[in-house]
Every structure is written in structure tokens, then in C-alpha cells.
Amino acid sequence: MLRWLREDSSARKQPDIRNVIEGLQEFYKDCILPLEEHYKFSDFHSPPLDPADFSANPMILLVGQYSTGAVIPGNALVVDPDRQFRKLSRFGNAFLNRFQCSQTQNDVLNSITIVDTPGILSGEKQRLDRGYDFVGVLEWFAERADRIILLFDAHKLDISDEFRRSIEALKGHDDKIRIVLNKSDMVDHQQLMRVYGALMWSLGKVLQTPEVTRVYIGSFWDKPLQHDHNRKLFEDEAKDLFKDLQCLPEMLP
């Protein structure tokens, strides 16, 4: 197979490549896609890539519990060839009716795409049927996202069954995951230490990774701080998180 790949690629006239993304796109179309089609790769893993999958901005996926976090409807998004969401049509109308794209004039959004997932249900609410494969959609986005941010509230650390299934769906993407302990100003500094310890203990049972996952502690909303003792800590943690996200656009040519 490798010999065929070398011979086939060397015999073909080399295109005029202007940047790395175009080069990868050409290599995929000429060398990888024929292999995927021959071995029916899409039948057991994922559909072929579109040009939009190569040119899309880095994607940040936000996952959290309920209430922690220009509109284009989902049915229009999945038929737009310039966007990387065409493969989501397989999840059906129940999902597409809830899938939307919001556009706004912001310089940050020129470099990244932020995907906000629905709030994870807890208690009796998680027994309600969403009408589509929520975990399947989450897996689809996790595979394509460049960062996955798990959001926890300092006063609401319980990991429901649906939240556990959602986190388990992110396995294999541990290097992308960042943890945010939000609304940490709602507890004092002594309680915050206990909350942090409880969060790490709970995550250790679900993530099961050999390395400690980075946790950013802060209050990521526009309300005044209830406990001001940890203001400097929150500001430093926010800078570290934003610095981590700012590295993503640098991966583009």
C-alpha cells in the first residue's frame, strides 16, 4: 500500500501549492481519499473530509452543566459548502432544529469558532429524551475541536449520569481538554480549596488520565465578585486560559 502511494504521488504532476493548508488538501484528495473510498472508511469511522474542513478556523468546544454558559438555523448550516458542518445532517431534524450559528462583529471570532453545547441535564431532567443522539453529536465535535473546555460551577460540582457519559465521550482527546472552575467568587478562599479538591477527586474517577488535567479557577462572567479575596488569582488564571486559547490561531499559516 505504501509503495503504491509513493509511486502514485510521484507520477502525478505536482500542483502549485501556495500554503500548507492547500498542500494538505491536495494530498488528501489525491492520496488519502482514494484509500478511504477503496476500503470504505466512511462505513465504520467518519465521512470524507470537505474543503471546508481544511480551511476552517480552530474550534473551541464548551461542555458544561445546565445554565453555565445573527442566527443561522442548522438546516441552512449543513448545506453550506463553505462551512465544516455538512456531515451533521446524519443526526436528523431533531438535532438540526436545535443547532444554530450566531455571527457577531468581533475580532476574536475572525480566528476561532466557539461551539456552545446545550447544558448537561441533571436529576430527573436527564431522563427526558432529547430526540437525537446527544453523545454522538458531542463525539463528532470533539474529534474536530482544537480545545475542549469542561465548565464546572464552584457551587455545583455534581457529575450527573448524562454529564459522565458526555465526559466519557471525550476520551481519546485528553490533550485538548481544559477544565474551568467557574463562579469561584461565590465561595471564600477556604471553601475554594475544598471545592478544588472535590472537583479533582470527582474528575479522577471519570477522566482516568495518567496526567493531571489543567484546571483554571476564576469567575468568567460580568458580575461583581462576591468574595474579593482571590481577585489576583482569578485574573492570573484568566490570563493563562486566554494565552492557551490564543495559541490556537498560530497553528494556521
172 Cβ contact list (under 8 Å, min separation 6): none
Q: Let me know whether 118 and 22 are in one domain.
A: no
> 153-189, pLDDT tens digit by residue?
887 777 777 788 888 888 888 888 999 999 898 888 8
Q: Let me know whether 162 and 116 are in one domain.
A: yes
The tally of domains found in the chain comes to 2
Q: Let me know whether 190 and 212 are in one domain.
A: yes
Q: Let me know whether 180 and 65 are in one domain.
A: yes
Residue 207's domain is classified under what CATH number? 3.40.50.300
Q: Let me know whether 130 and 74 are in one domain.
A: yes
- Parent domain of 156: 57-251
The angle subtended at Cα 139 by Cα 137 and Cα 145, nearest 5°, is 100
Q: Let me know whether 136 and 230 are in one domain.
A: yes
- Let me know: does 76 contact 19? Beta carbons within 8 Å: no
Q: Let me know whether 95 and 15 are in one domain.
A: no
Segment 46-64 shows an average pLDDT of 80
Q: Let me know whether 107 and 223 are in one domain.
A: yes
3: left (phi over 0), alpha (psi -120 to 50) or beta: alpha
Q: Let me know whether 81 and 187 are in one domain.
A: yes
Segment 225-245 shows an average pLDDT of 90
Q: Let me know whether 129 and 153 are in one domain.
A: yes
Burial status of residue 135 (CB atoms within 10 A of its CB: 0-12, 13-18, 19 or more): middle
> 87-146, pLDDT tens digit by residue?
888 888 888 888 888 877 777 777 888 888 877 766 555 556 678 888 888 888 888 889
Of 212, 195, 216, 196, nearest in space to 204 by CA:
212
**Average pLDDT across the chain, whole number:** 79
Q: Let me know whether 221 and 100 are in one domain.
A: yes
Q: Let me know whether 121 and 43 are in one domain.
A: no
d(CA 218, CA 165): 26
State the chain's maximal CA–CA distance in angstroms.
Answer: 68
pTM of the model: 0.73
